[in-house]
Amino acid sequence: MKNDIIEIEQIISEAYTKIENSQNITLLNKISSEYLGKKSKLSKIIRALVKYPIDQRKEIALTANQAKNHIKNVIISKRQEILLNNVNNKYNTKQIDCSTTSLYFPFSRGSFHPIISTMEDIITIFKLLGFSIFEGNDIENDWYNFEALNIPQYHPARDIQDTFYIDEMKTKLLRTHTSAAQIHVMEEQSPPIQIIVPGRVYRNETQNTSHSSTFHQIEGLVVNKYVTFVDLKTIIKYFVHKFFERDLKIRFRPSYFQFTEPSAEVDIQCYFCDNTKCCSVCSNSGWIEILGCGMVHPNVFKSVNYDTYKYKGYAFGIGIERIAMIKYQIDDIRLFYANDLAFLQQF
Ligand SMILES: [Zn+2]
Strand order in the sheet with 214-224: 132-133, 193-202, 214-224, 312-319, 287-296, 260-269, 250-257
Q: Are residues 52 and 127 in the same domain?
A: no
* Dihedrals phi, psi of 343, to nearest 5 degrees: -75, -50
Distance (Å) from CA 265 to ligand 1 centroid: 17
Q: Are residues 145 and 293 in the same domain?
A: yes
The closest of 142, 150, 126 to 134, measured between CA atoms, is 126
pTM of the model: 0.67
Distance (Å) from CA 197 to ligand 1 centroid: 30
Distance (Å) from CA 122 to ligand 1 centroid: 23
* Dihedrals phi, psi of 342, to nearest 5 degrees: -60, -35
> What are the Cα distances from residue 59, in Å, to 39, 48, 187, 217, 294?
21, 13, 88, 84, 99
Distance (Å) from CA 248 to ligand 1 centroid: 13
Count of Cβ atoms closer than 10 Å to residue 248 Cβ: 19
Per-residue pLDDT of the chain (347 residues; tens, 9 = 90+): 678 888 888 999 999 999 999 888 888 888 988 998 888 888 888 888 888 887 778 888 888 888 888 898 888 888 888 888 877 776 666 566 666 655 555 566 778 899 999 999 999 999 999 999 998 999 999 999 999 999 888 877 677 558 899 988 888 999 999 999 999 999 999 999 999 999 999 998 888 887 888 999 999 999 999 999 999 999 999 999 999 888 888 999 999 999 999 999 999 988 777 767 777 778 888 888 899 999 999 999 999 999 999 999 999 999 999 999 888 888 888 899 988 888 888 87
Q: Are residues 221 and 316 in the same domain?
A: yes
Q: Are residues 259 and 338 in the same domain?
A: yes
Distance (Å) from CA 202 to ligand 1 centroid: 28
Distance (Å) from CA 274 to ligand 1 centroid: 6
Residue 19 domain boundaries: 2-93
Q: Are residues 294 and 166 in the same domain?
A: yes
* Overall domain count for the chain: 2
* Dihedrals phi, psi of 214, to nearest 5 degrees: -140, 135
> What are the Cα distances from residue 300, in Å, to 116, 187, 192, 260, 282?
30, 11, 16, 8, 33
Residue 70 lies in a domain: yes
Give dist(CA 187, CA 125) in Å, integer. Answer: 26
Q: Are residues 142 and 266 in the same domain?
A: yes
Q: Are residues 131 and 85 in the same domain?
A: no
* Dihedrals phi, psi of 113, to nearest 5 degrees: -65, 140
List alpha helices for the chain, DSSP H: 2-21, 25-36, 41-47, 54-93, 114-128, 142-145, 180-188, 229-244, 298-303, 320-327, 341-344
Distance (Å) from CA 269 to ligand 1 centroid: 8
Q: Are residues 53 and 127 in the same domain?
A: no
Strand partners, 199: 217
